[in-house]
Amino acid sequence: MRIIVVFLLFCLLVNGCKEATTSLTSDLAFTGETMGTTYMVKYHDAGKRSHKKAIDSILVAVNQDLSTYIPDSYISVFNKEKKTTYKGAPHFDKVFIKAKEIYQKTDGAFDPTVMPLVNYWGFGYTPKKAVTDIDAAKVTEMMTSVGFNKIISPNISTYTKQNANTQLDFSAIAKGYGVDVVADFLEQKGIENYLVEIGGEVRTKGKNPRGNWWLTGINTPVSDASVKDFQAKVSLQNKALATSGNYRNYYEVNGKKYAHTINPKTGYPEANTLLSASVFANDCMTADAYATACMVMGMDKAYALINRYSELEGYFIYSDENGDMQTKYTKGMAQFLLNN
């Protein structure tokens, strides 16, 4: 379940956000639907230009390359056909390159080839159905097609499947990528103060209408939390933020919880003490993918992973040995937190 974002436009009232500058004028804001969720765009433009129509068109094109819910999308055709060699598509190519990078840096914890397993466990594009009788042999069989290294890309925009049954699921990076595409479009239009959010993944630049850093909240990771129930409030200083968690998208069978994060090394839904992982990065698809990898790795390995890279920061909420909720974050997070 991705971060629930509430944009706090009363930032002057929040402790730690008091260095107000001149307020911006001629601000635009609009919302829409994309990727099975909603999006929000806010920006300052002295020319009062509305880019909603163009942004909607951009997001349609992104979906047509990356959505497994569109039968004739590029990724759907890639998944369904059994041929070995494929020519790429513009958005698919960019996401594939980033996904491969993070697959390697996380030692396979982030692996988009879990698609068959995501469907099997009832969290994919196939009809949602809880698994009440686990077929271990079936899981083992599907694991033979899992492994991002089973897709070879000898050059940009050419792909070869080493296993014809290998399928891709870019849902753990696509929303972040969509945010980046929209943000890059705004920058090309000369817009220097903006906030772009898709399904809770967010990227900002510059200041909000009151002349302060854009603000957002990290939701408390419990299933009945409201959208205003924050574990932390943060200021985004020309950064992107994505959060992954297992506290909403799950089901229970015979008292056992099955969450939507599938461990690509075991083939089973991952169960560990990490409740949510929020990752800050310079671009949103990087933050998006690392947040998912963290949920697979668990608290200690996730913290070590994010702490390893100076361009990343992480905020983790986990359950301790007594079942109590605790937080831990990397050193650089202090500059973003408003309630520390």
- Cα 50 → chain centroid: 26
| Amino acid code (one letter) for 304 | A
Tell me, what's the pLDDT at 9? Answer: 32
Give the angle subtended at the CA of 216 by the CAs of 210 and 219, to the nearest 5°: 155
Distance CA 70, CA 286 (A): 24
Q: Which two tokens stand for residue 247?
A: 């506290």
Residue 106: both structure tokens together: 């996380």
The whole-number pLDDT of residue 108 equals 97
pLDDT for 156 equals: 80
Q: What is the CA radius of gyration of the chain?
A: 20
**Token digits for 65?**
């390359």
Tokens of 314: 């992480």
pTM, full prediction: 0.90
Domains of the chain: 62-171 (1.10.3980.10)
Query: How far does the chain reach from its first CA to its final CA, in angstroms?
Result: 24
Confidence at residue 32, expressed as pLDDT on a 0 to 100 scale: 96
How far is 12 from 21, CA to CA, in rounded Å? 11
Structure confidence at residue 89 (pLDDT)? 95
Nearest in space to 265 (alpha carbons), one of 103, 58, 35: 103
Each residue's pLDDT expressed in tens, for the chain with a length of 340 residues: 444 444 343 332 233 333 333 344 558 999 999 999 999 999 999 999 999 999 999 999 999 999 999 999 999 999 998 877 899 999 999 999 999 999 999 999 999 999 999 999 989 888 878 888 899 999 999 999 999 999 999 888 899 999 999 999 999 999 999 999 999 999 999 999 999 999 999 999 999 988 999 999 888 877 665 556 778 899 999 999 999 987 665 566 666 666 789 999 999 999 899 999 999 999 999 999 999 999 999 999 999 999 999 999 999 999 999 989 999 999 999 989 986 5
Give the per-residue pLDDT at 260: 82
Name residue, tokens 């870019």: 170
